[in-house]
């Protein structure tokens, strides 16, 4: 009964496809291009036959000029790089930039056309001499030069070996469908342009090789150059790879012609050819026939979107077999290229569907050909590694795992989020994986054959056509009688997480009454599996669980029920997905101790241990054992203990902390942190401190998750207990050094940009003998000429002060750190190398001035500035006023040279001139040099992870 309806649907789709093809066939462009290898320029004359397929008369048209995105520091590309902490394009000299120079623009009658650039510079607006009516066309002729950039910013441009990579390099028509879709180049591989018939007459230097995604005709050799005609029907833009060595091989398979330079040195050429045949056969069976003359599969394209994870390790330690490694690399690049060249969705706003199809097929490929492949490959067989839960994970389990890396950080974003609004990790990895998992989830729910057939139908009838997500949605809905609105309304269109829990199970002789709780309220179906002796005996699907629902299923003598056992669903938390039916005690999770860190194992309470070593001058090197429960994925409740032993003091030291993090929303007030921490160590010879600090903090962030702006309001109550060595009578008998407690409230506002850094905080402290208020503002500006200006302002005022020493006073050059916040190597040292360590806080001075001005028990204001004179060499200067009770305020200053090797992490300061006079000419100058050093691994890794999250 369904066959006539299916035939009718296919005929309608075919008719729609023909109409679309006729419409698109009206777009045509012809280019005459010459590549000048000496100045790396393209001389281009381009003729457009611009067809108005809208229902409106057009007075102007827009063209994508993405080659011009490299022209200055204010383009969309430069701004995107700054967000990702890349400053290379911002600092580039004029001869290191790429740009387009328009020489002339005329219509078919050779009458001049007015043109201008839009705000982001890489979109060209051309005003027509007369309105272009619907279903009419106009000829536009533009002559211009493209100065290619070096390929140090992106793969696009030229290198120093005579190689060129040209992509999105000439003018292409922007899309108008009632409104203009004008997208700047942001290095996201998402050019949105009309599909055209394109002919390129390309002249390039002799002695080099050209490979392209276009069909190559009429090749000719001339005395000093070569010439080729490149032709394409219904493609977007030409991708050209020009190289001094031809590393590309043409593979003729029964399904398509493939031109590729992807290779594996330890995987022989014949085997590579067999693998390529297997891949093209798989693509043809599961996607459909590729409609173009050839498929270009290049190493450059792979490097732009590699298989992230363990595949990024150096080739000599990659744990995968050469065949598997080669095939996955080739498959991913081929699928991305095919979908980019055939399915013309809006690549900035609807990119998720192509990612879904590509990753779904990659999951299918592994299940078909490598069902036993482990995520860690051969490493999973090595003693000491094989016991890790990570080593037991299947290769395809990386998809939910990597998606949850951002979900657990509250940084997950809906699949429909525009490409340029995604944080880098989501844009490159998490959203693509979630999209592929979504189709696998849907296939598990409605049947794999229905999703497979829908993908093939969609690809067959909508390739090379106008297409929308709704087209794919309608095909899927026609394939099943089940309601799948949840997939598009909940899974795709929102960032709501999926999280279910088996609340309870009531067991009878014949049935099990299972109560399932929907912890996030996301209305999607959930699978439940019944296990007996770890063997699968039943499977059920439940839907429409809004909060709490009870379902009755047959009793098959299961001993365990598990939600989402096969992990087809990218669930937020699987630690509460199972319920034992053997009795109450059997439901208790056993403790499992694991060295270092591992992925989550929902069947155990995991405790991780790792040896640690700390150092300070009093304890010396302090070895210890760190015990914690933090897995590779973030979790709400974390404990972290590190009992250690000081051999120098012959005593136990260390720290411990409990913390709970609650994410509240995506933006605005987004997180609350609660913690209780304690630590104990030595601050002087045979003198110990112990701190106990309860704290709570709240964080705010803007709706734009790419933004580096953050605001934090924190409250803590610091309790310090100190024991002194009796020989240190000046400390032990000082009335300012007993045990004390300080309430501390702070508001921090920070915009951590690589080009413009702004940060300020307001800090209030209240203790038994004093109360104080302080303010700090810090600003850094990186100019286009690579000059960096640093400015810091500090002001502090005691509101009340009944102390009789400087222990709680504002410090000019070296804070006493009575709250024990700073990582001093020798916090009580007055002489020697450890006393020269500097923490830029409070006064922020680098010189040791007269003891009368080093502290303030009333108020202090200082300004710290520096600017670089050459690369990381800077001049610094500090100035301020110090006011002490009973004395007139004193003006203080210092200056010198700063070696800013890694800002805030490793710096050296060499004083020159201050209130002390010319310090460089004074004796013992080596003792005046100050240094900043950070040895915390967590702090250092932040340098590398900040661009991803």
HSE of 709 in the Cβ direction (CA atoms, 13 Å)? 10
DSSP 426: I
Q: Residue 534's pLDDT is what?
A: 86
Over residues 220-239, the pLDDT tens digits come to 999 899 999 999 998 888 99
CA distance 105 to 714: 60
**3-class secondary-structure state, position 925:** helix
Token digits of residue 485: 């609105």
The beta strands (E) that lie in 533-636 are given as 535-542, 548-554, 560-563, 578-580, 590-595, 604-616, 620-628
Q: Which domains does the chain have, with CATH numbers?
A: 25-246 (2.60.40.1730), 248-342 (no CATH), 346-495 (1.10.390.10), 500-588 (2.60.40.10)
CA distance 91 to 152: 12
Average pLDDT over residues 88-95: 89
Find the helix packing angle between 448-462 and 351-369, rounded to 10°. Answer: 130
Over residues 525-581, the pLDDT tens digits come to 999 999 999 899 999 999 999 999 999 999 999 989 999 998 899 999 988 898 988
CA distance 844 to 846: 7
HSE of 105 in the Cβ direction (CA atoms, 13 Å)? 18
pTM for this prediction: 0.91
Over residues 734-790, the pLDDT tens digits come to 555 679 999 999 999 999 888 999 999 999 999 999 999 999 999 999 888 888 899
Average pLDDT over residues 180-207: 95
Helix residue ranges, H only, 290-430: 299-304, 322-342, 351-369, 389-392, 398-407, 424-425
Helix residue ranges, H only, 60-119: 76-83, 88-91
**3-class secondary-structure state, position 554:** strand
The whole-angstrom distance between residue 504's C-alpha and the CA centroid of its chain comes to 39
Q: Residue 263's pLDDT is what?
A: 85
Give me the residue label for tokens 């155990």. 604
Is residue 682 within 8 A of residue 731, CB to CB? The reply is no
Over residues 367-386, the pLDDT tens digits come to 999 999 999 988 899 888 88
CA distance 279 to 326: 11
Over residues 348-365, the pLDDT tens digits come to 999 999 999 999 999 999
Token digits of residue 797: 């005022």
Q: What is the mean pLDDT of the chain?
A: 91
DSSP 497: P
DSSP for 123-164? Answer: EEEEEEEEEE-TT-EEEEEEEEEEEPPBTTSSSSEE-TTS-E
Q: Residue 831's pLDDT is what?
A: 87
- Look at residue 5 and tell me whether its pLDDT is greater than 50: no
What is the percentage of the chain residues whose pLDDT exceeds 70? 93
Least Cα distance to 894 among 873, 908, 874, 880 occurs for: 880
Average pLDDT over residues 16-36: 71
Give me the residue label for tokens 């979109």. 123
Q: Residue 23's pLDDT is what?
A: 44
Using alpha carbons, list the distances in angstroms from residue 690 to 616, 677, 868, 886, 936.
15, 11, 41, 35, 21
Give the max Cα distance, the chain: 101
Q: Residue 256's pLDDT is what?
A: 96
Over residues 590-640, the pLDDT tens digits come to 899 999 888 988 888 999 999 999 988 999 999 999 999 999 999 999 999
Non-local (6+) Cβ contacts of 710 within 8 A are 699, 700, 701, 748, 749, 750, 751, 752
Over residues 451-491, the pLDDT tens digits come to 999 999 999 999 998 899 999 999 999 999 999 999 999 99
Split at pLDDT 50, 70, 90, the class of 792 is very high
- Look at residue 108 and tell me whether its pLDDT is greater than 60: yes
Is residue 818 within 8 A of residue 798, CB to CB? The reply is no
Q: How many helices (H) and strands (E) does the chain have?
A: 16, 47
Count of other CB atoms within 10 angstroms of residue 115: 17
Q: Residue 770's pLDDT is what?
A: 96
Over residues 799-810, the pLDDT tens digits come to 999 998 899 999
CA distance 882 to 890: 5
The beta strands (E) that lie in 192-247 are given as 196-205, 209-212, 215-221, 225-235, 240-243
Is residue 767 within 8 A of residue 745, CB to CB? The reply is no
CA distance 879 to 895: 9
Token digits of residue 747: 């508001």
């Amino acid at each position: 009964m369904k066959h006539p309806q299916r035939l009718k649907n296919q005929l309608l789709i075919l008719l729609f496809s023909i109409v679309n093809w006729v419409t698109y066939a009206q777009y045509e462009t012809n280019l005459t291009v010459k590549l000048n290898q000496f100045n790396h320029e393209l001389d281009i004359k381009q003729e457009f036959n611009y067809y108005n397929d809208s229902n409106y008369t057009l007075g102007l048209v827009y063209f994508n000029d993405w080659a011009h995105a490299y022209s200055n520091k204010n383009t969309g590309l430069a701004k995107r790089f700054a967000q990702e902490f890349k400053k290379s394009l911002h600092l580039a000299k004029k001869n290191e930039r790429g740009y387009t120079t328009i020489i002339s623009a005329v219509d078919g009658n050779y009458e001049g056309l007015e043109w201008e650039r839009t705000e982001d510079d890489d979109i060209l607006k051309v005003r027509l001499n007369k309105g272009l009516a619907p279903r009419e066309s106009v000829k536009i002729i533009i002559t211009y030069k493209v100065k290619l950039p070096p390929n140090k910013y992106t793969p696009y441009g030229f290198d120093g070996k005579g190689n060129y990579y040209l992509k999105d390099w000439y003018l292409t028509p922007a899309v108008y469908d009632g409104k203009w879709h004008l997208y700047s180049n942001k290095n996201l591989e998402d050019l949105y342009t009309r599909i055209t018939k394109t002919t390129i007459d390309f002249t390039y230097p002799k002695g080099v090789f050209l490979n392209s995604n276009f069909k190559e005709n009429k090749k000719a050799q001339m005395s000093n150059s070569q010439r080729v005609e490149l032709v394409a029907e219904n493609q977007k833009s030409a991708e050209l790879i020009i190289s001094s060595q031809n590393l590309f091989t043409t593979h003729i398979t029964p399904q398509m012609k493939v031109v590729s330079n992807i290779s594996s040195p330890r995987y022989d050429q014949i085997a590579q050819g067999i693998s390529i045949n297997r891949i093209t056969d798989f693509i043809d069976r599961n996607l459909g026939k590729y409609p173009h003359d050839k498929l270009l599969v290049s190493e450059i394209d792979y490097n732009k979107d590699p298989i992230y994870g363990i595949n990024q390790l150096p080739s000599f330690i990659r744990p995968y077999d050469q065949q598997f490694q080669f095939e996955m690399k080739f498959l991913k690049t081929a699928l991305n290229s095919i979908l980019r060249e055939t399915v013309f969705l809006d690549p900035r706003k609807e990119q998720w569907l192509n990612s879904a199809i590509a990753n779904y097929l990659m999951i299918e490929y592994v299940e078909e050909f490598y069902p036993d492949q482990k995520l860690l490959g051969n490493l999973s067989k090595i003693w000491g590694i094989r016991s890790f839960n990570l080593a037991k994970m299947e290769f395809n389990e990386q998809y939910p795992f990597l998606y949850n890396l951002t979900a657990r950080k509250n940084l997950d974003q809906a699949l429909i989020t525009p490409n340029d609004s995604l944080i880098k990790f989501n844009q490159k990895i998490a959203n693509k994986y979630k999209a592929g998992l979504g189709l696998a989830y849907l296939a598990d729910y409605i049947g794999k054959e229905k999703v497979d057939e829908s993908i093939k139908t969609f690809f067959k009838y909508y390739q090379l056509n106008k297409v929308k997500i709704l087209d794919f949605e309608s095909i899927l809905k026609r394939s099943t009688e089940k309601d799948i609105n949840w997939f598009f309304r909940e899974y795709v269109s929102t960032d709501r997480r999926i999280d279910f829990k088996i609340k309870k199970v009531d067991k009878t002789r014949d049935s099990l009454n299972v109560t399932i709780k929907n912890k996030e309220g996301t209305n999607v179906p959930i699978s439940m599996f019944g296990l007996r002796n770890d063997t699968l005996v039943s499977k059920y699907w439940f839907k429409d669980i809004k909060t709490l629902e009870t379902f009755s299923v047959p009793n098959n003598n299961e001993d365990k029920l598990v939600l989402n056992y096969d992990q087809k669903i990218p669930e937020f938390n699987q630690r509460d997905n199972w319920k034992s039916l053997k009795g109450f005690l059997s439901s208790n999770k056993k403790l499992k101790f694991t060295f270092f860190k591992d992925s989550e194992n929902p069947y155990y309470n995991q405790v991780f241990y790792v040896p640690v070593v700390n150092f300070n001058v009093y304890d010396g090197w302090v070895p210890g054992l760190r015990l914690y429960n933090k897995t590779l994925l973030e979790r709400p409740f974390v404990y972290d203990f590190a009992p250690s032993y000081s051999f120098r003091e012959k005593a136990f030291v260390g720290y411990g902390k409990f913390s709970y993090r609650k994410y509240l929303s995506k933006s605005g007030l987004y997180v609350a942190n609660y913690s209780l921490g304690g630590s104990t160590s030595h601050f002087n010879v045979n003198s110990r401190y112990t701190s106990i600090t309860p704290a709570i903090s709240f964080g705010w962030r803007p709706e734009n998750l790419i933004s580096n702006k953050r605001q934090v309001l924190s409250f803590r109550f610091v309790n310090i207990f100190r024991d002194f060595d009796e020989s240190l009578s000046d400390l032990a008998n000082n009335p300012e050094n007993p045990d004390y407690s300080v309430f501390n409230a702070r508001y921090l506002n920070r915009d951590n940009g690589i080009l413009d850094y702004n940060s300020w905080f307001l800090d209030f402290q209240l203790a038994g003998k004093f109360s104080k208020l302080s303010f700090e503002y810090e600003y850094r500006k990186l100019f286009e000429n690579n000059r960096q200006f640093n400015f810091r302002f500090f002001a502090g005022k005691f509101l009340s002060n009944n102390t009789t020493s400087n222990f709680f006073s504002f410090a000019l050059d070296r804070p006493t750190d009575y709250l024990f916040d700073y990582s001093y190597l020798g916090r009580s040292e007055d002489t020697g190398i450890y006393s020269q360590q500097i923490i830029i806080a409070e006064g922020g001075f680098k010189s040791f001035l007269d003891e009368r001005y080093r502290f303030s028990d009333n108020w202090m204001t200082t300004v710290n500035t520096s600017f670089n004179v050459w690369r990381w060499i800077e001049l610094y200067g500090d100035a301020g006023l110090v006011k002490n009770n009973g004395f007139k305020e004193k003006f203080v200053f210092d200056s010198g040279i700063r070696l800013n090797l890694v800002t805030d992490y490793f710096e050296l300061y060499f004083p020159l001139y201050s209130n002390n006079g010319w310090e460089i000419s004074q004796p013992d100058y080596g003792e005046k040099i100050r240094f900043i050093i950070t040895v915390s691994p967590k702090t250092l890794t932040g340098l590398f992870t900040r661009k991803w999250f």
